[in-house]
C-alpha cells in the first residue's frame, strides 16, 4: 500500500547521513511507497542537451533522455509536471534553478504528493552535492578543462527568482570557458547583477576572472555603491594584472520600483524589450574597462532606466553577437534581438529562452565557439 509519508521519512534521513550517490538506491526502495514501480533522478548535463540518471552505488543502466522532443524534457523546459499512460515526470527545482526531472513509472498517482517528493529530492541533491562528486560525474559528458573548473566553482546557480523578478544566465563553451562570468545577489529590495568578459583565455583569464568576481562580491558585501565598486575592482586589477582588463556591466535593480541603475565598463549595451518589442539601447560605454579606469580623470557614469512590469533586459558578452557562421557572417545584434523577441512571444520561461539562445549560438558556429559566450536575462514582474 502506498505510504508517501514513510517515503518522506526515508528521504529526510539522507539529510543527516548520506550522499547524493545514495539517493538512487533510496528512491528505488521507496518507489512502492509512492505507488510506483521505479523512481529515477534524471539530471541535465552542463550543455543542457540531455537528462542523465544520477550516478549511484548501483548503476541502473537507464539510457539518457534528450531534452528536446520528449515528455521528460518537456517537464524540464517548462518546469511543469508531464504524464503519460505509464509514467510521470516532475521537474526538480532548487528555488528556480532547473536541476532535472524525477521520473516515476506509475499508472495512478497523487500528483500533489509527488510534487512534494520532487521538491524534497531537489533539496537533497542541492544540499548533498558538495559531499561527493556523483552529481558532477553525472552532469559532465566530456572532460572539464581546468580553467572552466575554476570558473564554474565561482558561479552562483544559473537561475534565481525573488519577489516577481528572475535572473537567469548561460555560459559556453561550458567545458572550456575561461574569461566570461556572471554574478548576482538579492539584498532587501535590491538585485545586484554583474556580467564580466575578461581579456584572454585559459588559466590566465580564469585567474583574472576569479579576482574580478571576488572583488565585486567584497565591494558589494562592504556596502559600496556602483561607482565605488567599479573603482575597487579597477584598482585591484591594475595592481595584480597590470595591462589586463575586463569589460563588464555592473547593475542594480530595485525590485520594488523597477529602477535599474548600471555602469557599462567598455561593454555592449543591454537589450531592453518592453511589451514584446525592443526599446532604444542604454548608453554605452559609461566607463573604461575595469583595469583601465585610471586613463580617465572623471568617475564612471551611472545611467538609469525605469522598467515597467514585464520588461526583459538581456546582458551579453561579445561572444554572442560576434559569433560567425561558416561564411564569416556575424550573428549580430539584430539577429539576437529577433531571436529573443520571438522566444518571449512563445511564452517560454526565461531559463528556456536562454537555453535555446546559447544552443543557437553554438549551432551558428558549427558547434565550436571561437570565443566565450555568455548572457543573462533579467525579467521584472513578468
Cβ burial of 114 (10 Å; 0-12, 13-18, 19+) is buried
In the chain, alpha helices (H): 4-16, 23-30, 71-78, 111-128, 134-139, 146-152, 202-221, 226-240, 318-321, 332-345, 350-364
What is the pLDDT at residue 61? 66
CB 115 within 8 A of CB 127: no
CB 52 within 8 A of CB 43: yes
234-276 per-position pLDDT tens digit: 999 999 999 999 999 999 999 999 999 999 999 999 999 999 8
Q: What does the alpha-carbon distance between residue 270 and residue 314 come to, in Å, rounded to a whole number?
A: 5
Q: Rounded to 5 degrees, what angle do the CA atoms 260, 266, 272 make?
A: 35
- Provide the residue ranges of all domains of the chain, joining segments of one domain with +: 4-139, 146-380
- 3-state DSSP helix/strand/coil percent for the chain, to nearest 5? 35, 25, 35
What is the pLDDT at residue 57? 62
What is the pLDDT at residue 109? 74
Q: What does the alpha-carbon distance between residue 277 and residue 145 come to, in Å, rounded to a whole number?
A: 39
What is the pLDDT at residue 77? 97
Residue found by looking up cell 539584498 in the block: 187
Among the CATH numbers 3.30.1330.20, 3.60.40.10, 3.40.50.2300, 3.20.20.70, which is that of 146-380?
3.60.40.10
What is the pLDDT at residue 107? 79
Q: What does the alpha-carbon distance between residue 130 and residue 82 come to, in Å, rounded to a whole number?
A: 30
What is the pLDDT at residue 202? 87
> Which residues have CB under 8 Å from 79's CB, separation 6+?
91, 93, 98, 349, 351
Q: Do domains 4-139 and 146-380 have the same CATH topology?
A: no
What is the pLDDT at residue 148? 94
* Measured CA distances, 85 to 64, 66, 106 (Å): 20, 20, 8
Among the CATH numbers 3.40.50.150, 3.30.450.40, 3.10.290.10, 3.40.190.80, which is that of 4-139?
3.30.450.40
What is the pLDDT at residue 156? 96
14-52 per-position pLDDT tens digit: 888 889 999 999 999 999 999 999 999 999 999 999 999
What is the pLDDT at residue 18? 85
What does 25-65 look like in DSSP terms, one character per residue?
HHHHHHGGGGT-SEEEEEEEPTTSSEEEEPP-SS---PPPE
Phi-psi domain of 212 (left: phi exceeds 0; alpha: psi -120 through 50; beta: other): alpha
What is the pLDDT at residue 23? 94
Cell of 133: 562528486
Sheet of 259-265, strand order: 180-187, 190-198, 246-254, 259-265, 303-306
Which segments in the chain show pLDDT lower than 70?
1, 57-61
Q: What does the alpha-carbon distance between residue 196 and residue 290 come to, in Å, rounded to a whole number?
A: 10
Q: Is the dihedral of CA 16, 20, 24, 27 positive or negative?
A: positive
Percent of the chain's residues with pLDDT above 90? 85
Q: What does the alpha-carbon distance between residue 34 and residue 8 come to, in Å, rounded to a whole number?
A: 10
Amino acid at each position: 500500500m502506498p505510504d508517501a509519508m514513510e517515503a518522506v521519512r526515508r528521504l529526510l534521513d539522507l539529510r543527516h547521513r548520506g550522499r547524493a550517490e545514495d539517493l538512487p538506491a533510496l528512491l528505488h526502495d521507496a518507489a512502492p511507497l509512492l505507488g510506483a514501480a521505479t523512481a529515477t533522478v534524471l539530471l541535465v548535463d552542463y550543455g543542457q542537451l540531455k537528462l542523465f540518471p544520477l550516478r549511484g552505488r548501483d548503476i541502473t543502466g537507464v539510457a539518457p533522455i534528450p531534452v528536446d522532443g520528449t515528455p521528460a524534457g518537456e517537464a524540464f523546459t517548462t518546469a511543469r509536471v508531464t504524464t503519460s499512460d505509464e509514467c510521470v515526470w516532475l521537474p526538480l527545482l532548487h528555488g528556480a534553478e532547473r536541476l532535472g526531472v524525477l521520473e516515476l513509472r506509475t499508472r495512478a498517482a497523487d500528483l500533489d504528493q509527488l510534487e512534494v517528493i520532487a521538491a524534497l529530492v531537489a533539496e537533497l541533491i542541492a544540499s548533498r552535492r558538495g559531499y561527493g562528486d556523483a552529481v558532477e560525474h553525472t552532469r559532465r559528458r566530456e572532460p572539464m578543462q581546468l580553467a572552466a573548473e575554476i570558473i564554474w566553482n565561482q558561479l552562483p546557480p544559473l537561475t534565481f527568482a525573488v519577489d516577481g523578478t528572475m535572473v537567469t544566465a548561460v555560459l559556453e563553451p561550458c567545458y572550456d570557458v575561461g574569461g566570461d562570468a556572471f554574478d548576482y545577489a538579492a539584498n532587501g529590495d535590491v538585485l545586484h547583477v554583474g556580467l564580466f568578459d575578461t581579456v584572454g583565455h585559459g588559466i590566465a583569464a580564469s585567474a583574472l576572472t576569479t579576482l574580478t568576481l571576488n572583488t565585486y562580491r567584497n565591494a558589494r558585501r562592504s556596502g559600496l555603491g556602483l561607482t565605488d565598486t567599479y573603482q575597487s575592482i579597477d584598482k585591484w586589477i591594475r595592481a595584480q594584472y597590470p595591462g589586463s582588463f575586463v569589460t563588464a556591466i555592473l547593475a542594480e535593480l530595485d525590485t520594488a520600483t523597477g529602477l535599474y541603475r548600471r555602469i557599462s565598463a567598455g561593454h555592449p549595451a543591454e537589450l531592453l524589450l518592453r511589451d514584446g518589442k525592443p526599446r532604444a539601447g542604454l548608453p554605452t560605454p559609461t566607463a573604461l574597462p575595469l583595469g583601465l579606469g585610471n586613463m580617465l580623470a572623471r568617475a564612471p557614469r551611472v545611467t538609469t532606466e525605469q522598467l515597467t512590469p514585464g520588461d526583459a533586459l538581456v546582458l551579453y558578452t561579445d561572444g554572442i553577437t560576434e559569433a560567425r557562421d561558416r561564411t564569416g557572417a556575424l550573428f549580430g545584434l539584430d539577429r539576437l534581438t529577433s531571436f529573443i523577441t520571438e522566444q518571449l512571444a512563445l511564452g517560454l520561461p526565461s531559463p528556456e529562452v536562454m537555453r535555446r539562445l546559447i544552443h543557437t549560438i553554438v549551432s551558428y558556429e558549427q558547434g565550436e565557439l571561437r570565443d566565450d559566450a555568455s548572457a543573462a536575462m533579467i525579467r521584472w514582474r513578468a
